[in-house]
Each structure stands twice: as C-alpha cells, then as structure tokens.
C-alpha cells in the first residue's frame, strides 16, 4: 500500500481543475496511506499536437456531449463557482501562467505556495468573470491577488486577507517566467507526459509501492488508481430500493 501519483495538468483544462479539486479534498487521506501527490504544469495544446489528439471543440459530437458531461461533473463540487469561458479556444494557450507556476515550484521551498497559486490560477480561469490568463497583465494581477489561504470559493471567503506574494515577488515571478530555464522546463515536463503516452489532460502517472508505474487518463479514474496502489476504497455500487422508492412504485 502506498506509492506516488504524478498529475499533469493545464489550467485551461476543465477536467484538470476537477481532478485538482478531488485530490485536494482527499490529500490528507492519501497522505495517511503513504501516497505522495505532485502536480506538474503542462501545455495541453502541445500534448494534443504531439499525440495527434484534437480538443473537444474540434469535434462537434464531442462538444455536444461535453455539455452534458460538464453539467454532471459540476454536481460533484456545487459550491465551487465554475463557468466555461465564452471562447475557450482563444484563451487556452496558457504558456505564461504555466511558466510562472514552474518558476514558483522551483523557487519556493514550501510546496503549499505552488499548490495555492495553482488553485487560484484555476479559480481565476474558470470562475466568473473568467480571467484571460494569456495576457501578462492579467497573470500579474492574479499573482498579486493570491490569498495566503484559499478555499476555492472566493477571495473574500478565504481564511486570510493576507496575500501570498508581495509586489516585488510578483515582479520576480513575472520576470522568472521569461527565463529560458522556465521555457525549457515547461517543454520538458510536457514532453515527459507525451513520452508516457499522454494524449490529453489530466494525465496521471501512478507508481505503486513495488515501483511499478501505469498511466491513467481523466478525472474519474480514481477507483482504478486506488486499486492499482492497493488502497482501500468504496467502488460504485447499485443499492436496493428504499422504502420510499417502493412506495412510489
């Protein structure tokens, strides 16, 4: 029992946000089972190009089905404000915020700084009014707003009004995002996912306590992941009718 989950995500990926929220609410349990989780920012557009996959909006049937599936998935997190950007395709090239995340991950020793920033970037992209994170000024503004403690609902409901980064730190992060090292790091991380067989996001690479690794795709494969890692879990099960249901019949 135990192991590791490497989770490759892009903030423009709806299901990356969903899996992030899922792992966030279960990370204490995962830790109790000696499972380490690490998030890796990747560029979804490069994953699609490198694997030959196409985004959902490029296939009409998939886009139509996505409306149903998206509504169902949102029911898992009813308190989290999520709406799709009006033109998701035009704001999906999230290179700059991804490089900024890599800079934060590389620079700040406390992993919570990276996780909180990733959380707020997801929130900024997917919560109304859907911030366009392809624009440098918006990325800088989002960085200046990241709360020291963030629960994913809104900044005002955060446990602290204190901001995570000072003005000088925001400037350093924005400058750092332009370093060649960060450009290379985003490319290398994206390529690592491609080498593992990734064709979309979120992409999971799970390693069990025997050192064996397997890939998992999507935000709804945790029952397979838990089984592979040897963790106790409750699978989906059909229940017998209740007295109330019998009365309706």
Give the whole-angstrom CA distance, residue 217 versus residue 203. Answer: 5
CA 44 to each of CA 30, 41, 114, 201, 229: distance values in angstroms, whole numbers, following the listed order? 26, 9, 19, 7, 26
- CATH 3.40.30.10 at 3-248, yes or no: yes
Residue ranges of alpha helices (H) inside 59-132 are 60-74, 95-107, 111-126
Please report, in tens digits, the pLDDT of each residue of the chain (249 residues total): 789 999 999 999 999 999 999 999 999 999 999 999 999 999 999 999 999 998 877 788 888 888 888 889 988 898 899 999 988 888 999 999 999 999 999 999 999 999 999 999 999 999 999 999 999 999 999 999 999 888 776 544 444 578 999 999 999 999 999 999 999 999 999 999 999 999 999 999 999 999 999 999 999 999 999 999 999 999 888 889 887 655 555
Pick left, alpha or beta for residue 211 (phi over 0 → left; psi -120 to 50 → alpha; otherwise beta).
Answer: left
For the chain, list the strands marked E by DSSP: 3-9, 35-41, 203-208, 213-217
Residue 16 contacts residue 30 (beta carbons within 8 Å) = no
Give the HSE-up count for residue 24: Cα atoms under 13 Å, Cβ half-sphere: 17
């Amino acid at each position: 029992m135990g192991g590791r989950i490497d989770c490759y995500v892009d903030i423009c990926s709806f299901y990356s946000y969903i899996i992030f929220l899922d792992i966030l609410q279960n990370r204490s349990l995962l830790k109790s089972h000696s499972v380490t989780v690490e998030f890796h920012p990747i560029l979804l557009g490069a994953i699609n190009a490198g694997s030959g996959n196409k985004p959902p909006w490029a296939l009409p049937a998939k886009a139509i089905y996505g409306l149903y599936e998206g509504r169902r998935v949102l029911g898992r997190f009813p308190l989290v404000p999520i709406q799709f950007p009006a033109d998701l395709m035009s704001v999906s090239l999230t290179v700059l915020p991804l490089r900024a995340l890599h800079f934060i991950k590389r620079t700040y020793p406390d992993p919570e700084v990276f996780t909180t920033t990733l959380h707020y970037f997801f929130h900024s992209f997917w919560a109304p009014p859907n911030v366009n994170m392809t624009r440098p000024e918006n990325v800088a503004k989002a960085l200046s707003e990241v709360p020291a403690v963030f629960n994913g609902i809104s900044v005002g409901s955060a446990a602290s009004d204190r901001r995570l980064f000072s003005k000088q730190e925001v400037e350093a992060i924005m400058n750092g995002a332009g370093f060649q090292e960060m450009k290379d790091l985003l490319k290398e991380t994206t390529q690592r996912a491609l080498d593992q067989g990734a064709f979309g996001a979120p992409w999971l690479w799970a390693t069990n306590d025997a050192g064996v690794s397997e890939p998992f795709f999507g935000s709804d494969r945790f029952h397979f992941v838990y089984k592979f890692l040897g963790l106790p879990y409750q699978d989906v099960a059909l229940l017998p009718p209740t007295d109330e249901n019998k009365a309706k019949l």
